[in-house]
Amino acid sequence: MGNLILVLGVVLWSGAHLFKRLAPARRAAMGEAGKGAVAVGILAGIVAMVIGYRAADPVWLFFEPRFLTHINNLLVLLGFYLFAVSGLQTGLARRIRHPQLSGVKAWALAHLLVVGTIQGVILFGGLLAWAVVSVILINRAQRSWTPPPPAPLWKEGAAVVVALVATAVVGWIHAWLGPWPFG
């Protein structure tokens, strides 16, 4: 039952996020109220993913080699860095059109390397697929892209600091809730 709830969570998350891209007229017709409906869908997806992941009995596909933990940590750090790049609009944001979605892809790939269960494939593979589909749909809908204006160099350093702090905090929370993430 846990796997079914997990799949439902990934579908709710993806559907709520993709609603604007897949049914733009319907979403526009909902106006401001549509934001609430989308937010409820996203929140319901998160809740279902957490409940489903925790409820599912793990079905192991592989046991990761220890060195993959370090690659995982580097990819997670990269994911947080790309989120910071987006928020701070650094110089790298001028070269990467979708830094947040790229960050999600790095994070999801990292977890696919070290979580060798069916549940890991459903959750992290599903979120990776959502991020890839999102980029494709956004690029099709908005072919042209105007990069943000040039940014001062200090923003790049700030993005690195934000990524390091976020990785440490999330790693600590991760260890508190589940497995120790730092090998």
pLDDT (tens digit per residue) in 5-50: 999 999 999 999 999 999 999 999 999 999 999 999 999 999 999 9
| The pLDDT of residue 157 | 97
- Contact by Cβ (8 Å): 3, 55: no
pLDDT tens digits, 43-91: 999 999 999 999 999 999 999 888 999 999 999 999 999 999 999 999 9
The pair of structure tokens assigned to 5 is: 């709830």
| The pLDDT of residue 179 | 86
pLDDT tens digits, 118-171: 999 999 999 999 999 999 999 999 999 999 999 999 999 999 999 999 999 999
DSSP string computed for 79-143:
HHHHHHHHHHT-GGGGT-S-HHHHHHHHHHHHHHHH--BHHHIIIIIHHHHHHHHHHHHHHHH--
Per the DSSP assignment, residues forming a β-bridge with 45 are none
Say whether pLDDT at 172 is over 80. yes
C-alpha distances in Å from residue 95, one per residue of 69, 76, 91, 98:
29, 20, 7, 9
Say whether pLDDT at 116 is over 90. yes
C-alpha distances in Å from residue 54, one per residue of 47, 76, 100, 123, 133:
11, 21, 26, 11, 26
Q: What is the rounded distance in angstroms from the CA atom of residue 175 to the CA atom of residue 78? A: 19
| The pLDDT of residue 64 | 86
C-alpha distances in Å from residue 60, one per residue of 55, 70, 120, 140, 170:
15, 21, 9, 37, 25
